[in-house]
Every structure is written in structure tokens, then in C-alpha cells.
Copies of this chain bind each other. A is one copy, B any other.
């Protein structure tokens, strides 16, 4: 259970690190949307390993194939199936991991739950699972861009203790993509890359913070009382591997303020209801108010390291684990498009729900 996400734009993902492939089925995409394999590939290429030396050195082709739901270049309203075949199947590399639990990985918890596990490359717990999310996110993004006018942008805000200065209102996709670490502050980016390289050489790993902004969202997204936009975005983002926390607007920082300094006064601006400040991060009472939505996500340091670590085998015997060779010292650069995908999947779901609602302001 747990492989289906969404209510009106429902995705089902499948696939393990070293099985036949990974993929996604989208149920509820409206008919008439022009979409190509190339457009999906663009987003997959952003999350692909081997883009630069600072992320994982594993090379994966990750070529998206569109198997159903699109005819003559446009969606038909029926289930869209997208698949990426697995290629890098050197599972023998994992033989020694078969009988032991890697610290802070999902090895033990999967076994505790299922009584067995696919130990090749983490199986279903591998970040490779997110390919289906990103493919579906590419379609969500196109709907949102073309029919809703909003833009979602994520970027690296902090790596280890190196913090970037990012102007949330001005940052562009080009700036984000301008360096290997996907941090729009180029000075900080240089330091981050240096730190990550140092970690790789040391066999260690680091985490960090990804910031995200949704510009020009419609008001009215989010449903009382459980499917608040904050709640659904939190679930979406916190379902990603290695996430440890999320905060909206001023988040944990709002705690140090008072109501009188934190409240956002309403003003009329160019005939529209706006707030003078946006400390709420664009969401009030769980529903978007039309201001930019923004939040931050904490990622822990990657569990895979090139260190000798103490652990136990399936029989409970204490052993030493030494991860050999390549490892991913920092997942954040690759996580940027994945966070964007999850945000867009939540937004398109609520956009479709809301579209319905808007029509449903029944008048006599």
C-alpha cells in the first residue's frame, strides 16, 4: 500500500532500483493537453545521476517512454503510462549488503515490515523510485503553466553550514541551473561545491535545505479541514527520501514574533485583494490567498558513506560495513527537480478540484 498519491490527478508509481524498470500511471489528467516524451525527458534529465562530479557518479540513461493516454500528441483523458527501463543492473555489487542492515537506510525497516526485502540498491526505497514522480510532475507542470499561469521554482538554500542569499522574488530557473549545486547564489554555490567535493573525498556526506516558491498561484487552492494546502504539500514533500522537516512562510522563525508583528494586513491593490506583507507564505487557513507560496525543506546527510560503520547482520551478528567505491555525498542538487515535481503534483490536484469548486458557486 502507499503507491498511489492524489485525489483528482492520481499517480501510481512502481519500480525498484534494479528490477525491470520504474514508472508511473496518471489517472485523471484532462484530455486535450499537448505533451511529448521530450518534455518529460527534460525534467528527468534534471534529476538524472551523473550530471556532474558532485552528485552520484552512477550513469543512468533514464529514457522516458510514453505508453498510453496520449494520441496524436495530445492527452486523451485516459490513463497515462510512462516507463523508464532500468539499465545499470550490476546487482552483484550489492551481494555483500544482502545480509546486513546499512545504518540509517531502510534495510531493516523493510524487513521488519515485510519479512524480506529486495536488497539490490535499496529496492523500492531507492531514490530511483522518484523517477515516476518527476515524469508525472512534468505533465502537472505543463497544465499549471498553460492553464493556471503559476510557476514553481526550487533551489538549494543551504548545504551543511553554508547558507546562500536568495531573493525569492527574483530568482530564475536559469540562475538555479547555472551551477552544479543548483544554488542561485553563485558565491555560495562555489563554497558548497567545494564542501561537497571535500566530503566525497573524505567518504562522508552532507545534507542541507531546499527552498521553494510558487509564483502567481490562484487564490482558493486547499480544502478544509484535512486537505489544507499546507497539509498536502507537507505530505508530498515529506514522502521524499532523506527529508527531515518542512516549514511554511516564516516557519519556526514565526515563533519569535507576536501576532501584531506577524499578521499580514489586507490591502486593495490594482483592484485585487492582496496582503501588504506575506509572512503567511501565501496560505491562510490552509487555503492559498494569491500571494506567493514559499517553504523550506530540510534534508539530512545521505546515509550512504564511505566509512567503516558498525552494524549487525540479519542474524544479529555485529559486523563492520565498509561501503566501497562511488557514493552520493549530497542529494540536494538532484532533489531540486523532485521537490518541484511534488509541489506541482499537489497544485494540479487542487487546481482541478478547485476548478470544479469555482464552477460550483451556484447562482440562482
Contact = CB atoms under 8 A, between A and B. Distances in A.
A301 B79 contact: no
Contact of A67 (B15, B247, B273): B15
B15 A12 contact: no
Interface in A310-333: 310-312, 316-318
A68 B15 contact: yes
A149 interface: no
Interface stretch (A44-52, A181-189, A236-244): A236-244
A228 B302 CA distance: 18
A151 interface: no
Contacts of A364: 34
Contacts of A21: 67-68, 81
11 contacts: A3-B224, A14-B81, A21-B67, A30-B360, A31-B362, A104-B263, A105-B285, A113-B222, A113-B287, A160-B255, A276-B310
Given A15-B68, A108-B273, A353-B356, 8 more contacts: A1-B10, A20-B65, A32-B363, A106-B284, A112-B287, A207-B257, A234-B237, A268-B318
A312 B106 contact: no
Given A231-B238, A245-B251, A77 B15 contact: no
A357 B235 CA distance: 22
A55 interface: no
Contacts of A78: 3, 14, 16, 118, 123-124, 224
A206 interface: yes
A108 B274 CA distance: 10
A247 to B, nearest CB: 3
Interface size class of A (residues with CB under 8 A): 35 or more
A350 to B, nearest CB: 10
Given A3-B224, A264-B104, A266-B311, A245 B244 contact: no
Interface string A30-44: 111110000000000
Interface in A214-255: 219-220, 222-228, 230-232, 234-239, 241, 243-252, 254-255
B301 A31 contact: no
A259 to B, nearest CB: 3
